[in-house]
Amino acid sequence: MGMYADDDTVLRWARPDDRDALYEVCLRTGDAGNDARHLLQHGRLYGHLYAAQYLEFEPSCALVAEFEGSVAGYALGAVDTEAFETRLEREWWPPLRLAHPLPGDGTDLDRHLIGQLHRPVRTPPAVTDRYPSHLHMNLLPPLQGRGIGRTMMTTLLERLAEQGSTGVHLGVDPRNHRAIGFYEHLDFTRHGDDRIVLFTRRL
Ligand SMILES: CC(C)(COP(=O)(O)OP(=O)(O)OC[C@H]1O[C@@H](n2cnc3c(N)ncnc32)[C@H](O)[C@@H]1OP(=O)(O)O)[C@@H](O)C(=O)NCCC(=O)NCCS
């Protein structure tokens, strides 16, 4: 049973068989919050980079929203970013690098994302020392603007705090004005205005 429900929407913790839906939601929100399907030949690259590993390695912090019976949104967290990134380096990236050798193929964006599989950015200790956890949240259009993002954020932050976290960070594409407004409204602190906008919040 879900932890929240209305006529058409249910929130619940993720299950292993949600994997393909996470890939789909990630792809359909990959272009600064918008559908990225037309930009890629390899549609699963976004999910490899930003979604599926959370279900694999941090299932207790993987929250999904079902809309009319199908998963159409998620909030995915990692309690200890440093340990999570170390584990990705050992277990997650190696087979993906073999499947997508450099310099990569496909569109410019495919090749850019393949480059990220080979050279993922490690989060600096200056961030993780104070904000050890991180998260990603993506909802398809039918779920947006209904208070579901706020409910999912509250639920996930509570779960991260229960697991001992003292702070959370996340990165946003500077073109994604909607998400930037959302995180500012939810009392996240904005740092800089770089290639990625960093947001933090103490727990
Ligand atoms: C960004 C996103 C997660 C926000 O979730 P949402 O469910 O649409 O937002 P909610 O309806 O829960 O809004 C929560 C609160 O934030 C406010 N808010 C939302 N967007 C806002 C904005 N751009 N500026 C100011 N306030 C905003 C709402 O008014 C609401 O306020 P209230 O609860 O005090 O009444 C969601 O729209 C989404 O997934 N978009 C596409 C994918 C994406 O961009 N993900 C982020 C990648 S970093």
Peptide bond into 16 cis (omega under 30): no
Structure confidence at residue 2 (pLDDT): 67
Q: What's the pLDDT tens digit per position in 121-157? A: 999 999 999 999 999 999 999 999 999 999 999 999 9
Question: Hey, what's the torsion of the CAs at 109, 35, 144, 161, to 10 degrees?
Answer: -30
Residue that is written with structure tokens 């946003």 in the block: 172
Q: Which CATH number goes with the domain that contains 115?
A: 3.40.630.30
pLDDT tens per residue, the chain (203 residues)? Answer: 467 778 899 999 999 999 999 999 999 999 999 999 999 999 999 999 999 999 999 999 999 999 999 999 999 999 999 999 999 999 999 999 999 999 999 999 999 999 999 999 999 999 999 999 999 999 999 999 999 999 999 999 999 999 999 999 999 999 999 999 999 999 999 997 778 999 999 99
Handedness of CA 112, 117, 122, 123 (dihedral sign): positive
CA of 139 to the centre of ligand 1 (A): 9
* Binding site membership of 137 for ligand 1 (Cβ less than 6 Å): yes
* Binding site membership of 138 for ligand 1 (Cβ less than 6 Å): yes
- Ligand 1 pocket test, pick from 137, 182, 184, 190 with the greatest ligand atom count within 8 Å of Cβ, gives 182
Domain of 129 in residue numbering reads as: 4-202
Number of the ligand 1 atom closest to the C-alpha atom of 179: 1
Structure confidence at residue 3 (pLDDT): 75
Domain count, the chain: 1
Phi/psi at 53 (nearest 5 deg)? Answer: -70, -25
Structure confidence at residue 4 (pLDDT): 74
* Binding site membership of 185 for ligand 1 (Cβ less than 6 Å): yes
CA of 162 to the centre of ligand 1 (A): 24
DSSP symbols for 37-63: GGG-SSTTHHHHHHTHHHHHH-GGGEE
CA of 180 to the centre of ligand 1 (A): 9
Structure confidence at residue 193 (pLDDT): 72
* Binding site membership of 53 for ligand 1 (Cβ less than 6 Å): no
* Binding site membership of 133 for ligand 1 (Cβ less than 6 Å): no
* Binding site membership of 30 for ligand 1 (Cβ less than 6 Å): no
Structure confidence at residue 192 (pLDDT): 78
* Binding site membership of 150 for ligand 1 (Cβ less than 6 Å): yes
